[in-house]
Chain A
Amino acid sequence: MLEFKRLKAWEIALNSCIRCGYCYEHCPIYRATGWESDAPRGKLIILHGLLHRRIGLTTDTGSKVFQCLGCGQCEKACSSGVPLLDIFQDARADIMDTGIEVKGTLAETDPQKCVACLNCLRVCPHEARYFQDGIVLTDPVKCRGCGSCVDTCSAGAIKFETALAADRGLIEDQIREFVENHKNDKKLVVFSCNWSTYPGLQHARFSAQENAEKEREPYKLFVTACAGRLPMELPLKALELGAHGVLVVHCPSDQCDHEGADRAKARITRLRNFLSQAGMDPERVRTAEAPRLDTKAFSSAVSDFLRYLGSPGKKAATGDSV
């Protein structure tokens, strides 16, 4: 018997959603999948349906609230003040109580690869990883999909069913295409945290005109969930594929909910040391801090970097072996 005890307590809040849809454009999941049922409003409608037994609980319907990075952008945009994150959290707990299998933006362990080193368990800022039967597993209720665990896993055992913009193979393909399309430019690959700069940037680039301009710019933007999720090999891969520079944009440390800003900075520092040791210009990989919604910090970091890459006589300008 399905009870949804916790969700029931939110019935008034569920009813207060006026379906205005302001939450849509802010949701990174909706942006990635394009499914209305992945947008915050769609999730609320599904939860309302589950609670009132108008739709059945299946892996498909039950998994929707597990497709969420907990960024809270929807809550900030909500015209009715619906506490979406709390509702989703309680719905997750109710759904897990039913024992149904769920999928989503959750860290998944490959049991064939996990060596139980426990590194992921120690770094998870949400205490969502636990050790059981020889491997480290994820608590789907607690996991926020920040990906902090991914690059700490030396065994390569952690992946996401919904990788969003952090799918390694997908990003590599897009970098290849970008490099191919900008053969004669000093190419810059930019990885940006979803929470810091991207929401503002998204507004700034909403029109088709601006998108067309973006295509001509010699930089390619990838929005990952949290900068701390960025695997170290991706900036390297970008250089290997022919990018001249790689910029990683992250939140200020005190604004990151996932300790990801510090993690990203530490990884890029290590990477820059590697580049120095290898006789390559470490300035080709940089980090930049951008507070939430501050597009100026982002723009100037990109412009400075492009200027550096384009300056004659700079060491960076030697990477022409594309």
Chain B
Amino acid sequence: MIVAEQKPIQAILATLQGADSVLLAGCRGCVTVCGAGGEKEVRVLASLLKSARNEQGRPIRVDTAVVERQCEPEFVDELPYSRDDHDAVLSMACGAGVQLVAERLQDAIVLPALDTTFIGVSEGKGTWVERCKACGDCKLHLTAGICPVTRCSKGLLNGPCGGSSNGACEVDPSIPCAWQLIVDRLERLGMLDRYEEIIMPADWSEYGKPSSMDRGDIK
């Protein structure tokens, strides 16, 4: 899933400087699962914004709504936004959601309340870790199911580098060396011979350009 976290409150307040009323929009997708932009976070942020602005002597009206997913046009269209009632929409979705809201609400000022941080997995109570860079050229079949693009600080396809020390990464010793993990797991699986294979450079020519997908079969 996509993991996000709330922006610092002062940054959100700064973007709302010129607004006296706002529609605060949550999303029941990934950001609810990672506790950043669900119904609860919408309630907390709404209350906080109102209190902070009351204290500044510039009260703000905060209307709230939570839609199923802000990455679907049909759901975004359900947002109860009205240009007469709202100076802005403050979206608690990932960056993709914020942009779709802006795309659908042509006359609205749309602001992000979250920073989208990574594609990751849950590691247990309140902990998420990055596992995928969405590089578009998956090599996990060669690396024992551990992604060196994401988990090696240098993104090496043929590692480790000379900085791997006692299983830790030289860039940040709190990070396990991805290539140590890969070699250990290949060994456990009895597939260490795979480590001999040189992984050819990934095709990065498409990476970084806006991507899209067009599936005729589900139209």
Contacts and interface: CB of A to CB of B under 8 A. Distances in A.
Interface of A: 113, 115, 117-119, 122-123, 151-156, 231-233, 236-237, 239-240, 274-275, 277-280, 318-319, 321
Nearest to B6: A274
**Interface residues of chain B: helix, strand, loop or mixed (majority):** helix
A279 B55 contact: yes
B38 A154 contact: yes
Nearest to A267: B44
A293 to B, nearest CB: 31
A107 to B, nearest CB: 15
Contacts of A237: 47
Contacts of A275: 48
B162 interface: no
Task: Bin chain B's interface residue count.
Answer: 20 to 34
A233 B43 contact: yes
B44 A240 contact: no
Contact of B54 (A153, A155, A240): A240
B115 to A, nearest CB: 14
B201 interface: no
Interface in B1-24: 8-10, 13
B9 A321 contact: no
B126 interface: yes
A123 B122 CA distance: 13
B48 A236 contact: yes
Given A115-B28, A233-B40, A277 B10 contact: yes
B124 A122 contact: yes
A156 B28 CA distance: 10
B125 interface: yes
A232 B44 CA distance: 7
A232 B41 CA distance: 9
B39 interface: yes
A117 B54 contact: no
Contacts of A232: 40, 44
B40 A153 contact: yes
A319 B54 CA distance: 9
A155 B38 CA distance: 5
Given A115-B28, A279-B55, A321-B57, A233 B44 contact: yes
B139 interface: no
A122 B10 CA distance: 32
A123 B40 CA distance: 17
A151 B38 CA distance: 12
Given A117-B32, A155-B38, A155-B39, A278 B9 contact: yes
Given A233-B47, A236-B44, A240-B54, A278 B13 contact: yes
Contacts of B34: 117, 154
